[in-house]
Chain A
Amino acid sequence: QSVLTQPPSVSGAPGQRVTMSCTGSSSNIGAGYDVHWYQHLPGTAPKLLMYGNNNRPSGVPDRFSGSKSGTSASLAITGLQAEDEADYYCQSYDSSLGGSVFGGGTKLTVL
């Protein structure tokens, strides 16, 4: 069981908007720790997609956006493209565990 909870899968048609959630608790997201997002394609290294809740690294399209409220965070993708099909992971810090924690991952399918 992952400390951060993500839906196992989401899907959308090309051009649509999808969102995926990441739910934590009072010892991680709810404690004010930032949430970061990674895109992971099979056979490749995870790629940083969003840091500090809503900041995009250079090269990440502005179709990707992040938000955080309370004990949860969300990643939104607009103008869905076939190349967005991947696994997405959220990550934060947990003060009770004294280390970083990941969500279980959400598989995005572009229909």
Chain B
Amino acid sequence: QVQLVQSGSEVKKPGASVKVSCKASGYTLTGYYIHWVRQAPGQGLEWMGWINPNSGVTKYAQKFQGKVTMTRDTSITTARMELRRLLSDDTAVYYCAYSTGWSDIWFDPWGQGTLVTVSS
């Protein structure tokens, strides 16, 4: 059974970068993807992109291209999402979520979420 455990809350100043990690256990080695989804205060869920931990291939939503980088470590059990040039609008809970593909797929399970607060 797949489980995803994320890193803890972060407080950053505008213009800084933040890196959130997502450790997976119980997954199959091949054929899975880690997606990142965020929810700003009072807003809905917003898909940011995915990474295939096995190949390192990534796909980002157009809105986040140039601002986000998704990586995985060499053990391919931990995925990371780095968000650069933070603005107050980037204050949100960031979730990682598991899927078995990149299109026409659902997300299950999800990590517990990581609150990123951007404030001067």
Kindly report which residue of chain B lies nearest to residue A95, judged by CB atoms. Answer: B103
Task: Say yes or no: is A97 at the interface (Cβ < 8 Å to chain B).
Answer: yes
**Nearest CB on B from A34, distance (A):** 6
Residues from 58 to 103 in B contacting A, C-beta threshold 8 Å: 59, 61-62, 95, 97, 103
Known contacts A34-B104, A93-B103, A97-B61: A2-B47 contact under CB 8 Å: no
Contact A99 B109 (CB under 8 A): no
Contact B109 A102 (CB under 8 A): no
Number of A-B contacts (CB under 8 A): 63
CB contacts (< 8 Å) of B44 on chain A: these are: 2, 89, 102-105
CB contacts (< 8 Å) of A97 on chain B: these are: 61-62
**Nearest CB on B from A36, distance (A):** 4
Where the two chains meet, the residues of B that have a C-beta atom closer than 8 Å to any C-beta of A are 35, 37, 44-47, 49-50, 59, 61-62, 95, 97, 103-113
